[in-house]
Amino acid sequence: MTDAILAEILLPTNELRNDLPFWTKTIGMRLENIFPADNPSVASLSGHGLRVRIDKAAQVPPGKIRILTDDPASFAGGETRLTAPNGTEIEVVPLSPQLQQPETVHEFGVRRLKDSAPWVIGRAGMHYRDLIPSRLGGSIIASHIRIPDGGPVPDMVHYHTVGFQLIYCYKGWVDVMYEDQGDGMLRLSAGDCVIQPPEIRHRVCHASPNIEVIEIGVPAEHITTIDHNMTLPNGWGDPDREWQGQKFVHHVKDKAVWQPFRIPGFTARDTGIAAGTKGVANIQIARFDGGTPPATLHDTDIHFTFVLEGSMTLKAKGEPDRQLSAGDAFVIPPGQAAQYADCSTDLELLEATLPAGFTTTVTTL
């Protein structure tokens, strides 16, 4: 007697003897049982983490099976699409998630909170608001995320196959565990931020009531993988460790140094993310410092800004003026002149640019 429980996929066949060589020799599965002996019509096979039952009496579609491998050249003679004699389609695809960065489709775009952009319920019950609906052709996603009730978050240890990812704590606080970052939880308070390097394991644990964060991911569509084997926290790791060439960066607002911003009339606190990502991205928090900021243009690929506090008028060449306030967001394409006008004294902006190194030129509208 055994406690084992197996699951198998049922597939049809017209003639079992025609199918067996394909499934055993081409696909590399192992025959487990076959019957009846005098004229076999049913066979069960296993392999690659899958069990199939091929049955001449099965009244089911032939279906489609995906084989996952990072060495497709050594599987089935390098074929990536095959069809079994019984009609089952076989597709050979990468085992490890692949990062593909789409080419940016530039646009001038504004997303205002008062326009009632819909909130949708996403992973772990969190509410998401899309800040760049077009996602610039799939090159970036920016989300305004909130957890209204706070408390424990039903999250699991996971990681993202991503090129760049920022978590900025906008309101409240949130406790997160990160791989190699200590023996307890790391708290992000309002104004703090972290970058989650590609494939760093982490888990969101607790959040204050009405917690809000801004999350930026590049590219827009990226895979989240649950790690069922790692337990967090896992202690301190190598402080110089890199994940896909990026270091873990935890920026604390209260320890920040303010310095002149790229646009006159503003000061900024640098988060250290440009250095931590080796120039992949830069995150700066800019606040209005007085005067009349001039019109400028930039030459970076992606330029995203979220209004954290205060209000301003966004003027851009060829566009009507936009009155912006806290919770609004905008993207400005390279080469388009824009001016931050009518700035309130408490204006504060979160600016994300990819890549980090670029030129700002003072111009006129």
Sheet containing 9-12: which strands, arranged edge to edge? 9-12, 50-55, 42-47, 30-35
Match domain 255-363 to its CATH number in 3.40.50.300, 3.40.640.10, 2.60.120.10, 1.10.287.990.
2.60.120.10
The string of pLDDT tens digits covering residues 50-74 is 999 999 999 999 999 999 999 999 9
Length of the chain: 365
**Two tokens at 194?**
């972290």
pLDDT per residue over 171-218, tens digit each? 999 999 999 999 999 999 999 999 999 999 999 999 999 999 999 999
pLDDT at 99: 86
* pLDDT greater at residue 181 or residue 115: 181
Q: Work out the percent of the chain whose per-residue pLDDT is above 90.
A: 91
* Higher per-residue pLDDT: 148 or 165: 165
Burial label, 115 (beta-carbon count in 10 A; 0-12, 13-18, 19+) = exposed
pLDDT digit string (tens) for 261-307? 999 999 999 999 999 999 999 999 999 999 999 999 999 999 999 99
pLDDT band at 92 (very low <50, low <70, confident <90, very high): very high
Question: 361 forms bridges with which residues in the sheet?
Answer: 297
- Whether residue 355 is predicted with pLDDT greater than 70 in this model: the reply is yes
Structure confidence at residue 148 (pLDDT) = 82
What's the whole-number average pLDDT of the chain? 95
- Residue ranges of the domains in the chain? 9-93, 109-252, 255-363
> Which pLDDT belongs to residue 185?
95
109-252 and 255-363, same CATH topology: yes
CB atoms within 10 A of CB 6: 9
* Residues 109-252, CATH architecture: Sandwich (2.60)
Judge contact between 24 and 30, C-beta under 8 A: yes
pLDDT in tens, 252-267: 999 999 999 999 999 9
The pLDDT assigned to 215 comes to: 97
- C-alpha 185/C-alpha 252 separation (Å) is 15
- SS3 sequence of the chain: CCCCCCCCEEEECCCHHHHHHHHHHHCCCEEEEEECCCCCCEEEEEECCEEEEEECCCCCCCCEEEEECCCHHHCHHHCCEEECCCCCEEEEECCCCCCCCCCCCCCCEEECHHHCCCEEECHHHCEEEECCCCHHHHCCEEEEEEECCCEECCCCCEEEECCEEEEEEEECEEEEEECCEECCCEEEECCCEEECCCCCCEEEEEECCCEEEEEEEECCCCEEEECCCCCCCCEECCCCCCECCECCEEECHHHCCEEECCCCCEEEEECCHHHHCCCCCEEEEEEECCCCCCEEEECCCEEEEEEEECEEEEEECCCCCEEEECCCEEECCCCCCEEEECCCCCCEEEEEEECCCCCEEEECC
CA distances for 166 relative to 61, 93, 133, 162, 330, angstroms: 45, 29, 18, 11, 17
Residue 44: band (very low, low, confident or very high) from pLDDT cuts 50, 70, 90: very high
Q: Which CATH class is domain 9-93?
A: alpha beta
**Tens of pLDDT along 9-39?**
999 999 999 999 999 999 999 999 999 999 9
- pLDDT higher than threshold 80 for residue 118: no
The two three-digit tokens of residue 341, written as one number:
């006008």
Residue 4: band (very low, low, confident or very high) from pLDDT cuts 50, 70, 90 = confident
Predicted pLDDT of residue 123: 67
Q: Is 215 left (phi over 0), alpha (psi -120 to 50) or beta?
A: beta
pLDDT 10s digits, 136-156: 999 999 999 998 888 998 899
Residue-level pLDDT at 124: 65
